[in-house]
Amino acid sequence: MSDVPMRRLRDPKELRALAHPLRMKLIESLVLEGQATATQLADLVGDTPANCSWHLRQLAKYGYVEEAGGGTGRQRPWRAVVRANQFATSDEDVATAAAADLLTDLMIERETAALRDWNARRRTEPPEWQDAAGISQTATWLTHDELRGLGEQIGELFKGYLDRLVDPAKRPPGSRPVRLVQWGIPARPPAEEAGE
């Protein structure tokens, strides 16, 4: 089981700090590449060191990244603070809900873009990776308790591999960064269900 802690995001400022395309790129780069300076990150994400440095400080304010120690100014290294984040619950106030929706929209855009990129290049990948990757899609009838339980089971499976983000020594030979996305959503609005 993963030692990565769970973080419940309930502050709109905390959510908005993360709901920014460049900031998500910075965090992803730190997770996948390891610690890096603002200058190194600028090369990875296609932005300026000054802008990356400013966004890193904003992310650090809310605990998403931290200084890794050593260096000064733009040459100080940063690292991601890896946590499993939970947000977008039914008990949010209006401001928190709006920030959670903004973050969710950004995540959907990023993940669908990554899926499209994979689909465009998958035939250039080694056969074993083409065969290992996949998309599962189905529709069925579930209660809200069953849907929640299924999501929790899948989340637990994902969490079992999160410690590899923190500790490169736990990554088996031949492993690569892999995107894991899960969603389970009602197929129709409740008003359409009433007619059945």
Q: Write out pLDDT tens, residues 4-27.
A: 677 788 888 989 999 999 999 999
Does residue 90 lie within any of the structural domains? yes
pLDDT score of 196:
54
Dist. CA 100–CA 140, nearest whole Å: 27
pTM: 0.83
Burial group, residue 36, by CB count within 10 angstroms (0-12, 13-18, 19+)? buried
Segment 150-169 mean pLDDT: 88
pLDDT for residue 193 is more than 70: no
Does residue 196 lie within any of the structural domains? no
**86: β partners:** 8
Does residue 141 lie within any of the structural domains? yes
Percent over 70 (pLDDT), the chain: 94
To the nearest 10 degrees (0 to 180), the angle between helices 21-33 and 94-121 is 60
Chain-centroid distance, C-alpha 16? 14
pLDDT score of 10:
84
What CATH number is given to the structural domain containing 46?
Answer: 1.10.10.10
Does residue 155 lie within any of the structural domains? yes
Does residue 195 lie within any of the structural domains? no
User: Residue 149 contacts by C-beta under 8 Å, 6 or more apart in sequence?
Assistant: none
Does residue 41 lie within any of the structural domains? yes
Domain extent, residue 147, equals 6-190
Q: How confident is the model at residue 1 (pLDDT cuts 50, 70, 90)?
A: very low
Does residue 1 lie within any of the structural domains? no
pLDDT for residue 185 is more than 60: yes
| Total structural domains within the chain | 1
